[in-house]
Amino acid sequence: MVGKPPELERGTGVPAHVQIERWLLASIAGGELAPGDRLPGERELAGRLGVSRMTLRQALATLERDGVLLRVPGRSGGAFVAEPPAEPRIECDLTGLAGFTEQMRRAHLRAGARILTAATVPAPAAAAVALGVAAGAPVHEVARVRSAGRSPVVLERSYFPLLPGLLDEDLTGSLYDLLATRYALEPRTAVEHLDPVIAQPAEAAELGIAPGTPLMLIERTAYAADGTPVEYALDLFRPDRVRISVRSGPAR
């Protein structure tokens, strides 16, 4: 049975339905709710939470979409905890400029990295424009397969300015932390573009999927606080393993 509902926080920027989703996910993770358990009825649960049934339904609909809950219509129906998938999708929030290592920490998973390339190369055209260097000028390229636990989830290819000693550092951890601590170039803002693409054979082999599998490409240029471009990246995410989210607010 679901435990005592939380006191929902107002004015924090986190919508009530998101707080409800997090509470139910924590209840499942903590063993208070098990697969097959039925949640209280909508009227009762909304009353206990102090929210409208519409707000509650928004939370339940999101959890149903993500495969966490199974909703059955009818008098004997309701919302039931679903059997967990073998590999649940990982939430990656692009609202803040958190790197993959930080995203996995938030998801309580260990981030891994397998380095494919770490070399000084002539800047491709797009990387040169993003980093503000001449086409073909030398830049550092770092390509890695990032994993959550033991499962590969993203193929990263990043280009950096010619930072002294960068390629001699440990490149298996957070490169953003490295930029901040070694070079005082902490990425503070970024422009990101998302495009659906199809996995090419070499990419598929690295990610352990079949060629032609859909992927989500995130093209990113990251900037330090003073506007200096510090990274141009092309990240290929497996959408079966990662769910991309962005929070928004009213225009000012």
**Binning pLDDT at 50, 70 and 90, where does residue 138 land?**
very high
**Helix, strand, or coil (residue 163):** coil
Q: Which of 10 and 198 is assigned the larger pLDDT?
A: 198
Q: What is the pLDDT of residues 74-100, one digit of tens each?
A: 766 788 888 765 566 777 777 666 677
Structure tokens at 183: 């070079």
Q: Are 33 and 2 within 8 A, CB to CB?
A: yes
For residue 66, the model assigns a pLDDT of 76
The rounded Cα 193 to chain-centroid distance in angstroms is 15
Q: Are 156 and 111 within 8 A, CB to CB?
A: no
Q: What is the pLDDT of residues 102-111, one digit of tens each?
A: 777 776 667 7
Q: How many alpha carbons fall within 13 Å on the CB side of residue 204?
A: 11
Sheet holding 214-223, edge to edge: 111-122, 138-148, 151-160, 229-237, 214-223, 189-198
For residue 147, the model assigns a pLDDT of 85
For residue 105, the model assigns a pLDDT of 72
CA angle 56, 103, 252 (to 5 degrees): 65
The model carries a pTM of 0.64
Enumerate the H helices of the chain as residue ranges. 16-29, 42-49, 53-65, 100-106, 125-131, 175-183, 201-207
Q: Scan for tokens 């079949």, then name that residue.
A: 210
Domains annotated on the chain, with CATH: 16-81 (1.10.10.10), 90-245 (3.40.1410.10)
Do β-strands 229-237 and 151-160 pair in parallel, antiparallel, or remain unpaired?
A: antiparallel
For residue 84, the model assigns a pLDDT of 62
The whole-angstrom separation of Cα 113 and Cα 99 is: 13
For residue 144, the model assigns a pLDDT of 94
Q: Are 101 and 111 within 8 A, CB to CB?
A: yes
Q: Does pLDDT of 1 surpass 60? A: no
The whole-angstrom separation of Cα 146 and Cα 176 is: 14
